[in-house]
Amino acid sequence: MKKTDKILVTGASGFIGSRLIKMLYENGFTNLRATSWSRDLRNDFEGCKNVEFLKGDLRTAEFCEEVSQGIDVVFHAAANTSNALDTKVNPLLHVTPNVEMNTNLMEQSWRNKIRKFIFISSNTTYPDIGGEYCTEDMNVQTPNIYPAYKAVGWMKRYGETLCEFFSNQIHDPMQCVIIRPSNSFGPNDKYDFEQCHVTPANIRKVADGLNPIPLWGDGTEVRDVIHVDDMVSGFITVAEKVDKYDIYNVCYGKGHTVMEVLNLIKEIEGNDNPIAFVNNKAPMIPTRLLSNEKLLKLGWKPKYDLRSGLEDALKWYKENKDQFDPNSKP
């Protein structure tokens, strides 16, 4: 990927897509097109001059054909998502729209001769292997996805299969790179409890002074949590350095229990409120660890460690908490 490339970022109104747009621009990639299905984005990116914004539905071939015209590199960060409890009640809630979106965007990108397609997949594609580290060469075409995330895991696996097809099984191939990120947090994340993941939820609970602090699960679940800026810098590193079909984890390569992260948030905030365990959420994967050895070999270096990343997220939430629903219930 070169500074002169025309780059498409889908899902630009989302947590990851919005930060990706800003970091690309800050790093000199200013020839950008961004999409959103939900709203006009022109007022969301102050300082990012001449970014082209298009609003529409990526589930349709017509819009996918329009947005991929004249593009060199695609970052496909758009996804129709919800929380694990919603997908437990309705397992196909997001499968069909995402399959339609991924299929149409990849096909139209290939037809428009896109040089490189970066597919933002998910760590839920990995099988349940307990406390072992998931590596990119692992066979993910196995049935044992963790049950609470089976729908999203198989949906992302389908997207990855499309990437392999368009890279290796078709004439005049389009080179696709798959990224499997760990769990992100940071500024502009979702902090309403009905939508957010466990780390931003715990940031809000501590910053809002909830007493006791309700903790989802039993606190022993292990996650590799990464600041969103380090995540998207990993995306950009992969796009700059990799020119053929491949798969990369983007993560810190180190796990922490949910309780460890919560206690660190409390320490940063000077909060000694007690913790109360609650079980009104869908069960979480007990342990999910990712290796980042391949990513480090590309020269990627994170900006934050866990503590400084949480400090940044806490600061942002406290400065912007008025934009979130005060009646949201943990």
Query: CATH number, domain at 283?
Result: 3.90.25.10
Q: Which helix (H) or strand (E) holds 278?
A: strand 275-278
On whether both 217 and 230 belong to a single domain, the answer is no
On whether both 15 and 130 belong to a single domain, the answer is yes
Quote the domain boundaries for residue 155. Answer: 7-184+226-250
Angle (CA) 101-109-174 rounded to 5° is 120
The count of domains in the chain is 2
Residues contacting residue 112 through CB under 8 Å, at least 6 positions apart: 65, 68, 69, 70, 71
At residue 193, the pLDDT reads 83
At residue 41, the pLDDT reads 63
The DSSP call for residue 134 is E
Question: What pLDDT digit, counting tens, does each position of 184-198 carry?
Answer: 999 989 888 877 888
Residues contacting residue 322 through CB under 8 Å, at least 6 positions apart: none
Whole-number percent of the chain with pLDDT over 70: 90
Residue 330 included in any domain: no
Residue 238 scores a pLDDT above 90: yes
Residue 127's pLDDT band (boundaries 50, 70, 90)? confident
Residues contacting residue 326 through CB under 8 Å, at least 6 positions apart: none
On whether both 90 and 105 belong to a single domain, the answer is yes
Cα–Cα distances in Å, from 193 out to 31, 203, 212?
36, 11, 16
Higher-confidence residue: 154 or 145?
A: 154
Angle (CA) 222-239-99 rounded to 5° is 70
Most confident of 169-173, 205-209, 275-279: 205-209
Residue 88's pLDDT band (boundaries 50, 70, 90)? low
Q: For residue 32, what is the domain's CATH number?
A: 3.40.50.720
What sign does the dihedral 74-83-329-286 (CA atoms) show? negative
At residue 302, the pLDDT reads 96
pTM above 0.85, yes or no: yes
